[in-house]
Structure 1
Amino acid sequence: MTTYDQRAGFIHTDHHPEEEKATVKSVYQQVANEYDERIPGLGPSDDMFTQSERDFLIEAIRSGEKVLDIGCGTGRFTVPMAEKGAEVSGLDISRPMLDVASRKLAERGLTADLREGDMARLPFPDASFDTVTSMLALMHVPLEDRQAVFGEVARVLRPGGRMLLGVKNSVFEEMFTGDRFASVDVTDVAGKQLLFTQTRSGEEYVAPWYSFSPRDLTTLFATVGMTVTRLRGNSPLAVWLADEVLRDESVRAFVSKTERFLAEVPPFNHFGYHLLAEATKPRA
């Protein structure tokens, strides 16, 4: 059974959130030591997507600020934020993923406060952070927990603080249900799942995966008193072009320049393959 929440703008299912979280935890325990091998793109379109994602987040981080990275995984963004001089905490549901992040930090002589936990119940005091980040992790949050997660983000942010996030765009999925850049981790749009194929064990794993629309983000932030101040569509053009086309350096340069211009201009920003958003908490 499913029901539609008109106020919050998303579907509720009869899946039990604790069961879904247990599934996510189990899957990432299995793939933790190979996760970083599964992320890199295999062509120029994926490279452009990853660079845009990284630029959006890392360019916004300032040395000395206190940052919480939720769903930090193996530290794909936790590590570069620490390298930039931020005081970083990371939270993830999977201890093996955190173990990989810890090793990366140690190899670089960096430190971060890494904790295993649930985004819906953050183990941090009120007003602890200047910035909360989450890249490619919020899609694993059970729909029933979404409001709690955004409420927790607002709680741990200081007045005037912000959240920076990246999520898959459900508006794009209405136009194209395939996973444009994926090679081994594939989104099943109809089934609301992420499929982990070609694992070292030879087994395939499945985890729940729920995309967000721009309306979802605006509504969820509004209900916790925060305001979306930036909304960027990641790869609104490159996603439609074959890698063979983008291997031409002049074409790639033109597409990159055009995307930088259009990616935050309505309505183009609503049609990216993924959404990159920044939202702020009022100062008073």
Structure 2
Amino acid sequence: MTQTAHRSYTGLEERTAQTKEAIRQVYEFISEEYDDRIPGLTPADRRFIDTELDFVLGRVRPADSVLDLGCGTGRLTIPLSRLAREVVGLDICDGMLSVARRKAEEEGARIRFERGDMCDLPYPDDSFDVVTSTLALMHIPPEARATAFSEIARVLRPGGRVLTGVKNAAFEQITRADRFATVDVTDVENKTLVFTGTRDGGERVAPWFSFSPDELEYLFSDAGLKPTTLRGNCVVAAWVADQILADPRIYSIVESLETALNETSPFSRLGYYILAEAVKPG
């Protein structure tokens, strides 16, 4: 490696480290209020959450050992613990982990929560049957994505699965509107997630990078994983006003349409979010 290339590589590492630290600081600040910021009270919120949970939880088996990356306050980790033999939650933020441990203890959930970096997982090769990550992958800087996906592949056992949920960059090409924004707003132009109205009345901003379906499939394949399922989340609900979705009959029609279209191309590639599964060859 030339001296110039080495300096460039070192600069890239420094920028990545700075991005991760900025993200950690934001979540440390909002950790105690995080759960109150994502209540999921609107019909569109409910549809989004139900679709995501059905996708992830429906693919976990009782004998599985599961790693939930970027587990936050345990939004997904705790439900996973009711299904799988073993669940580990990993996050970069001590504050979020503290909230997750408290919630798990209150619910009697047996989960091992640990602090760590998705780009440098503290686990041996072939440790888990399933790796899950929803939302958190979008905080990984694009230059570090390949490393994160390689780490996921490394800790999966042969035949193991990775289950992800990420914001769809293809959707953002159609509209920059943040369909479900309330207090946490996706700023597409500046590639940030803006936490408005925090406890001190100010804003906190974290880097946030969406994925296109092609990018996601490439990252899986490049890490040695075989993409098996790619489906849209809210391919219809994202375009229907909450006032209309509040009608149970309309909601039922939208639910049926999405069930039919979520895994049908091109609709599967145009959802508000992407839900994807990939398998490590056995």
**Partner in structure 2 of residue 83 of structure 1:** 82
Other-structure match for 2:264:
265
Verify the 8 A CA contact 1:236 1:268 in the aligned structure 2.
yes
> 1:177: how far off?
0.4
Matching residue of 2:230? 231
Q: Could you say if the C-alpha distance between residues 279 and 57 of structure 1 is closer, same or farther in structure 2, counting changes exceeding 3 Å?
A: same
Alpha-carbon separation, structure 1, partners of 2:110 and 2:249:
41
Partner of 1:38: 37
Match of 1:105 in 2: 104
- Paired position in structure 2 for 1:276: 275
Residue matched to 2:3: none
Q: Deviations over 1:58-83 (max 9, x none)?
A: 12111231000000000000000112
Q: CA deviation at 1:85?
A: 3.6
Q: CA deviation at 1:14?
A: 10
Cα drift, residue 271 of structure 1 = 0.4
- Counterpart Cα distance in 2 of 1:41 and 1:79: 17
Pairwise CA distance, 1:132: 0.2
Q: How does 1:62-73 map to 2 (within 5 A)?
A: 62-73=61-72
Q: Letter of the aligned partner of 1:279 in structure 2?
A: A
Secondary structure of the residue aligned to 1:217 is helix
Q: Which residue type is aligned with residue 239 of structure 2? A: W
**Unaligned residue ranges in structure 1 (runs of 5+):** 1-12
* Per-residue deviation, residues 186-229 of structure 1 (Å, max 9, x unmatched): 00000000000011121210000000000001100111111110
TM-align CA RMSD: 1.2
Q: Paired residue for 1:178? A: 177
Tell me, yes or no, if the aligned pair for 1:63 and 1:85 is still in contact at 8 Å: yes
Identity of counterpart residues, as a percentage?
51
Counterpart position of 1:194: 193
| Residue type at the aligned position of 1:228 | P
User: Judging changes above 3 Å, is the alpha-carbon distance between structure 1 residues 236 and 43 closer, same or farther for their aligned structure 2 residues?
Assistant: same
For 1:136, the aligned partner's letter is L
Task: Tell me, yes or no, if the aligned pair for 2:65 and 2:84 is still in contact at 8 Å.
Answer: no
In the TM superposition, what is the alpha-carbon distance from 1:86 to its structure 2 partner?
3.4
Q: Which amino acid aligns with 2:229?
A: R
Looking at structure 1, the residues matched to 13 and 107 of structure 2 have their Cα atoms a distance apart, in angstroms, of 44
Distance 1:51 1:182 in 2: 17
Given that residues 41 and 181 in structure 1 are in contact (C-alpha distance below 8 angstroms), is that contact kept between their aligned partners in structure 2? no
Deviation at 1:45, TM superposition (A): 1.1
CA drift of 1:112 comes to 1.2
| 1:6 matched residue in structure 2 | none
- SS across alignment from 1:119: coil
Alignment-derived partner of residue 131 in structure 2: 132
Query: 1:8 matched to which residue of 2?
Result: none
Query: Contact 1:61/1:86 (CA < 8 Å) preserved in 2?
Result: no
Q: 2:6 maps to which residue?
A: none
Query: How many angstroms does 1:15 deviate by?
Result: 8.2
Aligned to 1:208: 207
Name structure 2 gaps, 5 residues minimum: 1-11
How big is the shift at 1:84?
2.1
Distance 1:86 1:48 in 2: 28
